[in-house]
A and B are shown apart, each in its own frame.
Chain A
C-alpha cells in the first residue's frame, strides 16, 4: 500500500512513568479502513498508546501522525479528526442519553440538522432509540458502551480509537457493536481497538501483540498463527486438570493451555510426540485419550509467543 494510505503512524513512541518504561520505541503503521486490534496482558501498555494517539497524553519521545496530522505538534487539529473512547466509561452519568449526544455534537460543532439526523440513525443502529430520555448512569453496561460509540461517532471521525470497548458487555450487545464497526469500515473509517476477547481479535484485519510496552508481533490473525513455534495438539479426556499435571514439563512439551474440557499442548514435533504422549498417559492409567493435531487459536499463539505456560 502507498504511504498516503497510512492513517495512524507512530515512530519510536516512548513513554515512561518514573522508572517504569510503559512504552518502548513503538513503531506502528495502520492503514485506511483497517480494524486494527491491540492485544496484550494487563499492563502491557494498550491504554497508554491509545491516550498518546488521541492527544490526551504526551509521549516522552517519538512521533505520532493521525490522519496526516502530527499529533505532537498539533494535538488539537488531530482531535477534530478522531474519536477516543476511554477504557473507563467517560460520559456524564447524570446527563441523559440525548443530552450526552447533544453535548459531544456541540463540542465538535456538528451542524444542527445533521446532528439530529445522525444521532437518530446511530441510536437506531445501537438499539438505544427508546432510551433517549434515560440518564446514562441508569443504562446497562452494554448500553453504556454503545452510547459511548454513538457519542464518538456523532461528528463522523476519520479515526476511531476504542480502548476495550466490549469488556463486560454481553454477547448480543457485542454483536451489535461489531455490526456498527463493520459498517464504519465500509465508509473508510480507520478503527484501532484493544480487546481482551480472542474471538474479537480474530475479527481484526491485523493485530499487534503488545507486551511490556513493546510490539512483539504485528500481523494478520492468520499470519500470527503461522508464527507460532511448534505444533498444537488437543487432548480430549475426562479430568483435563489431572492431564495438565502429567503432561507439563515432559520432553518436547513447550506449553500447556487448559481450554474448557480439552487441553492444548504445544510440542516441538507432532509426529514424534503424539505416540510418546499416548504412552505417557497409558502409563498413568489413562486410556482412550484422544490426541489430535489442532488449528491454533489466537490465544494459543499469544501464550506461545509470550512464553507463558498458563
Chain B
C-alpha cells in the first residue's frame, strides 16, 4: 500500500463527487428529503385523527369514554353517527380513519362484571397511520380503564390493584404509543444511511467503466486495494456527515430523547456505514453502468431495511421463516442498536448481540470487497 497513491485516489474521487450533480444530490439532499418524508410521515402529522362515534348507550359513562378520546388530542370527532350503516358510509367516504362503537349495554356490563368491550374500526388503507392510531386508541382505553378501575374498586370496597379487568399496564402502553416517533425515528436514520451509503458507492467503480477511464487507470501501478480504499475514504466521510445530520435532527428536530453516549453511537454508526458502503461498492464492481448499479443498490437497501429491519413492522410479529430471514438483514442490528442507545442509554456491552451481528457482517463485506475488484478488462 502506497500512501501517495491512496491519497491521490481519494483526492481525485473527492473532486469528482464535488463536480457530479448526481452524487452531490444523493450525499446532501437525499438525507434531508428522506428525513422529511419518512420522519414527518410517521410521526408529527398524526394528531387529531378523524374519529366517528356511534354511542349506542349515551349514558354518563359512555360519554366519559368518548370524552377521553377527544381530550387526548390524538383524535377529533368528525361525526356522530346513529346507526351501523353510518359507520361504513363514513369510512368509505374518508370522513374518518377510525370509528368508535360503544354498545348499548356498556355501563350495565361494566357495573356487573367490571369489564365491558368497546369496538374500534379502522381504515387500514394507510398501514402506518392505522398502526399509530390503533396505538393511540389502546393508550386512551388503557388510561380510561385505569380510571374506571379506580372508580369500580372504590364503589366495591376493593383495592384497585386487585381489580382484574385491566390486563395491560396502562403506563407502558400509554408511553409507547405517545412516543411512537421515538421508536420510528431511529429506524428512519438507519433507512437513510443504508440508502445514501449504498447509492453513493454504487456509482464509484461503475462510473470509471461507463466513462471509459478504467482502462487507463488500471494501466498504472495503482493496486486494487488502493483503488478501493482511496475511493471509499471520501464516501466514508460523507457517510459520517450524513449520519451526524440525521442523528442531530432526530434529537433536536424530532425531539427523540438521547440517553446513551456519543462514543457508542459513533462506533456502531461507523460499523454500519462500512457495511452499507461495502455493499454499494460490491454492486459497483459488478455492474458496469451507473444507472443499473444505483437501481440494484436501491433494491438491496430500501426493501430489506424498510420491510425486514423492524423499523416499522415489528420483527417478533413476523412469521418464523421471515423472522429467520431478518438475521441476514444488516439494518436490523443497527435499528436495534440505535433504539437501545437512544431510548435505553445502552452501552457497547449491553449491545453485544446486535454488535456481534453487525461486526460479522462488516467482516464478510470487507473480505468480499477486498477480493472483488481486479485490474483487468475481462
Contact = CB atoms under 8 A, between A and B. Distances in A.
Given A56-B376, A56-B377, A108 B212 contact: no
Given A79-B221, A94-B15, A103 B213 contact: no
Contacts of A27: none
A90 B217 CA distance: 8
B375 interface: yes
B170 to A, nearest CB: 61
Contact of B4 (A51, A84, A109): A109
B47 interface: no
Contact of B216 (A91, A94, A102, A108): A91
* B interface residue count range (under 10 / 10 to 19 / 20 to 34 / 35 or more): 20 to 34
Nearest to A104: B220
A107 B5 contact: yes
B2 interface: yes
Interface string B101-112: 000000000000
Interface in A277-306: none
A83 B216 CA distance: 9
A56 B11 CA distance: 24
Contact of B213 (A84, A91, A109): A91
A93 B15 CA distance: 11
B377 A51 contact: yes
Interface residues on A, range: 20 to 34
B74 interface: no
Q: Which of B211, B218, B220, B378 has the most CB of A within 10 A?
A: B220
Interface in B336-378: 375-378
Contacts of B19: 94
A88 interface: yes
A103 B376 contact: no
Contacts of A104: 220
A99 interface: yes
Contact of A86 (B20, B216, B376): B216
Nearest to A17: B378
A194 interface: no
**B216, B222, B375 interface centre (most CB from chain A within 10 Å):** B216
B4 A90 contact: no
B215 A94 contact: no
Which of B7, B12, B20 has the most chain A CB atoms closer than 10 A to its own CB?
A: B12
B219 A54 contact: yes
Contact of A94 (B5, B16, B212, B375): B16
Interface in A15-67: 51, 54-58
Nearest to B8: A106
B378 A92 contact: no
B16 A107 contact: no
A108 B215 contact: no
Interface in A128-164: none
A93 B219 contact: no
Given A90-B215, A91-B216, A94-B20, A107 B222 contact: yes
A192 to B, nearest CB: 14
Contact of A92 (B4, B213, B221): B213
Nearest to A48: B377
B213 A108 contact: no
Contacts of A197: none
A80 interface: yes
10 contacts: A79-B221, A80-B221, A82-B219, A88-B212, A90-B216, A92-B12, A95-B15, A102-B8, A107-B5, A109-B5
Given A85-B216, A86-B215, A95-B12, 16 more contacts: A56-B376, A57-B377, A57-B378, A76-B223, A83-B219, A84-B215, A86-B219, A88-B215, A91-B216, A93-B211, A94-B15, A103-B11, A107-B8, A107-B221, A107-B222, A108-B221
